[in-house]
Amino acid sequence: NAGVTQTPKFQVLKTGQSMTLQCAQDMNHEYMSWYRQDPGMGLRLIHYSVGAGITDQGEVPNGYNVSRSTTEDFPLRLLSAAPSQTSVYFCASSMTGALFSGNTIYFGEGSWLTVV
Protein backbone atom coordinates (compact mmCIF):
# COMPACT_ATOMS: atom_id res chain seq x y z
CA ASN A 1 0.00 0.00 0.00
CA ALA A 2 2.52 2.60 -1.20
CA GLY A 3 0.33 5.71 -1.65
CA VAL A 4 2.56 8.67 -2.56
CA THR A 5 6.28 7.97 -2.80
CA GLN A 6 8.84 10.72 -3.17
CA THR A 7 12.61 10.58 -3.42
CA PRO A 8 15.16 11.50 -2.26
CA LYS A 9 14.37 12.05 1.40
CA PHE A 10 17.43 14.23 2.00
CA GLN A 11 19.59 16.16 -0.44
CA VAL A 12 22.30 18.80 -0.19
CA LEU A 13 22.93 20.90 -3.28
CA LYS A 14 25.40 23.59 -4.14
CA THR A 15 24.11 26.91 -5.42
CA GLY A 16 23.54 26.70 -9.16
CA GLN A 17 23.15 22.93 -9.32
CA SER A 18 20.01 21.36 -10.73
CA MET A 19 18.16 18.33 -9.51
CA THR A 20 14.86 16.48 -9.79
CA LEU A 21 12.62 15.40 -6.95
CA GLN A 22 10.71 12.31 -7.95
CA CYS A 23 7.09 11.64 -7.02
CA ALA A 24 4.87 8.69 -7.84
CA GLN A 25 1.40 7.66 -6.69
CA ASP A 26 -0.41 4.38 -7.14
CA MET A 27 -3.96 5.52 -6.37
CA ASN A 28 -4.86 6.57 -9.93
CA HIS A 29 -5.39 10.15 -8.76
CA GLU A 30 -5.88 12.79 -11.40
CA TYR A 31 -4.64 15.64 -9.20
CA MET A 32 -1.02 15.92 -8.10
CA SER A 33 0.84 18.83 -6.59
CA TRP A 34 4.08 19.99 -5.02
CA TYR A 35 4.24 22.10 -1.86
CA ARG A 36 7.11 23.61 0.02
CA GLN A 37 7.07 24.14 3.75
CA ASP A 38 9.52 26.43 5.47
CA PRO A 39 10.20 26.23 9.22
CA GLY A 40 7.15 27.17 11.26
CA MET A 41 5.23 27.95 8.11
CA GLY A 42 2.30 26.50 6.31
CA LEU A 43 2.23 24.76 2.97
CA ARG A 44 2.75 26.81 -0.16
CA LEU A 45 1.77 25.43 -3.55
CA ILE A 46 4.53 25.35 -6.18
CA HIS A 47 2.96 23.58 -9.18
CA TYR A 48 0.03 21.30 -9.74
CA SER A 49 -1.48 19.00 -12.34
CA VAL A 50 -5.04 17.85 -12.92
CA GLY A 51 -4.10 15.07 -15.31
CA ALA A 52 -1.44 13.70 -17.64
CA GLY A 53 -0.16 16.41 -19.95
CA ILE A 54 -1.67 19.24 -17.87
CA THR A 55 0.33 21.35 -15.44
CA ASP A 56 -0.07 24.81 -14.00
CA GLN A 57 1.62 27.19 -11.60
CA GLY A 58 0.78 27.59 -7.97
CA GLU A 59 1.66 30.31 -5.51
CA VAL A 60 5.48 30.05 -5.67
CA PRO A 61 6.51 28.57 -9.06
CA ASN A 62 9.67 30.54 -9.80
CA GLY A 63 12.79 28.40 -10.06
CA TYR A 64 10.86 25.14 -10.50
CA ASN A 65 9.58 23.12 -13.44
CA VAL A 66 7.22 20.17 -13.58
CA SER A 67 5.91 17.73 -16.15
CA ARG A 68 3.19 15.09 -16.09
CA SER A 69 3.74 12.48 -18.76
CA THR A 70 1.83 9.76 -16.91
CA THR A 71 -0.93 9.69 -14.32
CA GLU A 72 1.43 8.14 -11.79
CA ASP A 73 4.48 10.42 -11.95
CA PHE A 74 4.97 14.12 -11.23
CA PRO A 75 8.65 15.12 -10.94
CA LEU A 76 9.74 18.54 -9.70
CA ARG A 77 12.88 20.05 -11.21
CA LEU A 78 14.98 22.71 -9.58
CA LEU A 79 16.63 24.52 -12.46
CA SER A 80 19.46 26.37 -10.71
CA ALA A 81 19.34 25.88 -6.96
CA ALA A 82 19.46 28.90 -4.67
CA PRO A 83 19.75 29.07 -0.86
CA SER A 84 16.17 30.44 -0.78
CA GLN A 85 15.02 27.03 -2.02
CA THR A 86 16.20 25.35 1.15
CA SER A 87 12.97 23.83 2.41
CA VAL A 88 10.95 20.68 2.90
CA TYR A 89 9.11 19.61 -0.23
CA PHE A 90 5.94 17.57 -0.21
CA CYS A 91 4.35 15.85 -3.14
CA ALA A 92 0.63 15.20 -2.80
CA SER A 93 -2.22 13.65 -4.74
CA SER A 94 -5.99 13.58 -4.65
CA MET A 95 -9.03 12.83 -6.70
CA THR A 96 -10.23 15.97 -8.47
CA GLY A 97 -12.65 17.84 -6.36
CA ALA A 98 -16.32 18.30 -5.89
CA LEU A 99 -18.42 18.40 -2.80
CA PHE A 100 -18.43 15.00 -1.07
CA SER A 101 -15.65 13.61 -3.19
CA GLY A 102 -11.93 14.05 -3.55
CA ASN A 103 -11.50 16.07 -0.41
CA THR A 104 -8.66 14.09 1.03
CA ILE A 105 -5.18 14.92 -0.14
CA TYR A 106 -2.44 12.36 0.44
CA PHE A 107 1.12 13.48 1.05
CA GLY A 108 4.46 11.84 0.45
CA GLU A 109 6.90 11.66 3.35
CA GLY A 110 8.73 14.80 2.31
CA SER A 111 12.12 15.69 0.88
CA TRP A 112 14.49 17.80 2.96
CA LEU A 113 16.54 19.96 0.63
CA THR A 114 19.45 22.14 1.69
CA VAL A 115 21.13 24.50 -0.77
CA VAL A 116 24.55 25.77 0.29
Partner 1 sequence: GQSLEQPSEVTAVEGAIVQINCTYQTSGFYGLSWYQQHDGGAPTFLSYNALDGLEETGRFSSFLSRSDSYGYLLLQELQMKDSASYFCAVRDNYGQNFVFGPGTRLSVLP
Binding site for partner 1 (CB under 8 A): 31, 33, 41-43, 45, 48, 50, 58, 90, 92, 94, 96-100, 102-110
- Please state the closest distance from residue 56 (CB atom) to partner 1, in A: 9
Q: What is the 3-state secondary structure (H, E, C) of 82-103?
A: CHHHCEEEEEEEECCCECCECC
Residue whose CB is less far from partner 1, 72 or 107? 107
What does the alpha-carbon distance between residue 66 and residue 74 come to, in Å, rounded to a whole number?
Answer: 7
Residue whose CB is less far from partner 1, 58 or 63? 58
Cβ atoms within 10 Å, residue 109: 12
Residue whose CB is less far from partner 1, 53 or 97? 97
